[in-house]
Amino acid sequence: MALNKKSGSPTQLYLARRYLVLMLAVVPLFAALGGFVRQQLQLPTWPAPMAEPIPRGRILARDGTVLAEGAASYRRYPQGQLASHLIGFSGAVQPDGRYGLEGLEYTYDQRLQAGEPVVTTLDPTLQAAAERHLRDAIIRHEADNGAVVMIETGTGHVLAAASYPSFDPNMRETRTQAALTNRAFLQQYEPGSVMKPFVVAALLESGRLRPDEVIPAEMALRVGSKTFRDVAQHDSHLAVPDILRYSSNVAMIHLSDRFTPEEQHAWLRHFGFGQEMGLNSIFTRTGQLNHWQHWVPQDKASITIGQSVSTTALQLAAAYSIFANDGLYIPPQLVVGEKLSLPKRALSPETALAVRSMLVYTVEESSLRNSKIPFVSVAGKTGTADIFDQASGRYIDGDYTLGFAGIFPAENPRITMVVYLQKPRNGTMSTLVAAPLFRAIGSEVVAHWGLPLNALTYVGQP
């Protein structure tokens, strides 16, 4: 049946309209889909695979040198080994949500994940000098390990903290257990004679010793089951500065008799030994100072000369900085803006100055000339200590810790520095091993400041 072109049957018209409406609705839809297909586009999956790499804040030295940067997935350490023990490193995300695995990367993980930078107090030039000279000294003396800590007077800023063996956080294969240990902050060692100035300072401060006293100093003394001997030959009686100059164990033990064990223990804790460092930015250790009630007679004598007590290089440097800070104990600081306890007065300025003068005398008059830094005065003390082996429970014959702790310039202190090497096969005297290391690093520090005026021979006036 032919349809009327104008009208057609109502049913057909109705169907035709429906068909038209359907086509108008469906065709554009297919056209749109066809467009997607023709452009070879894909519908986005959900969630969209466009997440940016997880950002991570940078770790900087105080002069802005970049020590760590990059997102968690490609973290880089542009300075390589420099300060690697402090910076640590990060890796894959851990079950607790952290990316940091060691050092500041671990302790400041939350802040770094927020994309905020961490600015350290480190001076890269001084850190480099400390690391290079420490490594050279360890290789030269065939030592097992060592550490250096350098603290700025007045602020407590840690300017350098080197440990050896070391590692490059960019290279996984260098991350051995021995290399990862931050010895400057974590390795507890018996410091030896560098402890002696603290006993002298405590006696002076408590009024139990006058600086001009003369003390008996035989060459050997038996205390309890142990005989203590002096190494350097000296007179039978020594003035207080000469006790430090000759590092007389016997005279020091006589001096310590003026304290009860309880008092001596309290004074050593007063200087920070056996105490938390209060540094929140990184792990530290307290050192070991047994309670006085557990001391046997020879323990008190041993502790006086820096044995049977352990410390870390950081703790010892912080304690020595009391002499540099005119008697104030200023907590060490590694990260700018870190909340620390307030400085406390540990000694009167007079006592601090008196001990500093004795330490200058010790360097100037003894065989410690190896520790003298050209054009600046040094106040310092060596320490040679036997190494206690935890496994066998006894001291190891022939293995020593050779250390030096010092302050410079002595008349206007700017730096307190502690260095030590352990188990050197070549060299057994601190004066020949640790003191030259102190000088080598100290010289670089002074050169970094610029030559002092007293170094210059003035010639010519226009």
Partner 1 sequence: MKMHRKTLSALYIVLLLTLATLGVHNQQQFRLQHSLIQEKDSQHQRLAELRGMAASITSPLAVSQWAASSGMIPATEAGDFEQVTPLTSPEPIPLESGLEVRTVWR
- Site size with partner 1, rule: CB under 8 A: 57
Using CB under 8 A as the criterion, what x/- string covers residues 34-53 for binding partner 1? Answer: -xx--x-xxxx---xxx-xx
- Of residues 129, 223, 347, 358, which one binds partner 1 by CB under 8 A? 129
Q: Minimum Å distance from CB 66 to partner 1? A: 7
The Cα 220–Cα 241 span in angstroms is: 19
Site residues for partner 1, 369-408, by CB under 8 A, read 373-375
- CA quadruple 339, 345, 349, 354: dihedral sign: negative
User: Residue 102 is encoded by which pair of tokens?
Assistant: 């060691």
Q: Please, which residue, 52 or 173, has the CB nearer to partner 1?
A: 52
Core vs surface per residue 250-288: b (16+ CB within 10 A) or e: bbbbbbbeebebebbbebbebbbbbbebebebbebbbbe
Told to check if 64 binds partner 1 by CB under 8 A, we report no
Told to check if 127 binds partner 1 by CB under 8 A, we report yes
The Cα 103–Cα 86 span in angstroms is: 5
Site residues for partner 1, 6-25, by CB under 8 A, read 21, 24-25
Q: Minimal CA–CA distance to 407: which of 448, 371, 450, 453?
A: 371
Told to check if 451 binds partner 1 by CB under 8 A, we report yes
Q: Please, which residue, 283 or 375, has the CB nearer to partner 1?
A: 375
Residue 71 CB contacts under 8 Å (≥ 6 apart), including other chains: 53, 54, 55, 56
Length of the chain: 462
The Cα 154–Cα 453 span in angstroms is: 23
The Cα 153–Cα 105 span in angstroms is: 27
Stretch that binds partner 1, among 266-274, 286-294, 339-347, 446-454 (CB under 8 A): 446-454
Q: Please, which residue, 79 or 311, has the CB nearer to partner 1?
A: 79
Told to check if 455 binds partner 1 by CB under 8 A, we report yes
User: Residue 39 is encoded by which pair of tokens?
Assistant: 């452009």
**Left if phi > 0, otherwise alpha if psi is -120 to 50, otherwise beta: which for 149?**
beta
Told to check if 290 binds partner 1 by CB under 8 A, we report no
SS3 151: strand
Q: Minimum Å distance from CB 449 to partner 1? A: 9
Q: Minimum Å distance from CB 446 to partner 1? A: 5
Q: Please, which residue, 53 or 343, has the CB nearer to partner 1?
A: 53
Q: Please, which residue, 41 or 342, has the CB nearer to partner 1?
A: 41
Q: How far is CA 33 from the centre of its chain?
A: 64
Contact footprint for partner 1 (CB under 8 A): 21, 24-25, 28-29, 31-32, 35-36, 39, 41-44, 48-50, 52-53, 65-66, 69-71, 74, 76-82, 124-125, 127-129, 131-132, 136, 170, 373-375, 443-444, 446-447, 451, 455-462
